[in-house]
Amino acid sequence: MNTGEYNDPKGQGMPPPYTDTPQSPPTAPLYPPLQPGGIELQQQQHQHGQPTVIPVLVGTRPMGPKPSSLTCPSCNAEITTRVQYMSSTKTHLFALGLCLLFWPLVCLPYLLSSCQNADHYCPNCNAYIGSYKN
C-alpha cells in the first residue's frame, strides 16, 4: 500500500524507507541529447518556448596587432586598447636564426613589433582584455 508519500508514524524525523521500485516515472531530461546540427536544434527549441543556452565569452578574446576600439568588459567604458608588445618563443627563434646567418641583425626581432605578441589592456582600469599571438 505504497501511495508515494511517507508519513512518519512516530514523528521522529526519519527518512522514508528505501524501495527498489521508483515512486514516480522518470521525467524528461533537462537537456536534450547532443545531435549533429546543434544550432538548428537550439533554434527549434527556442521557437517552442523552451529555454536555450547562450554561450558567453568570459576572459580573454582574440585581438589584432594594433590598438582596437571596443567596450571594456571590466569598466564598461568605450576605449581604444593600450597595446604592450612582449617577446615570445618565436621572437627568440628568429633571433637565433639571425645569429646563425648574420649576427649583427640579432636584435632586429626584439625591435620589430611584428615579431612579438601584442597584449591589449584597458587604458582606464588596466584590465587585461586579450592578446594577438604572432
All structural domains of the chain with their residue ranges = 62-132
Average pLDDT over residues 74-79: 90
pLDDT tens column, 27-62: 555 555 554 544 444 444 445 555 554 443 434 566
Cell of 52: 536555450
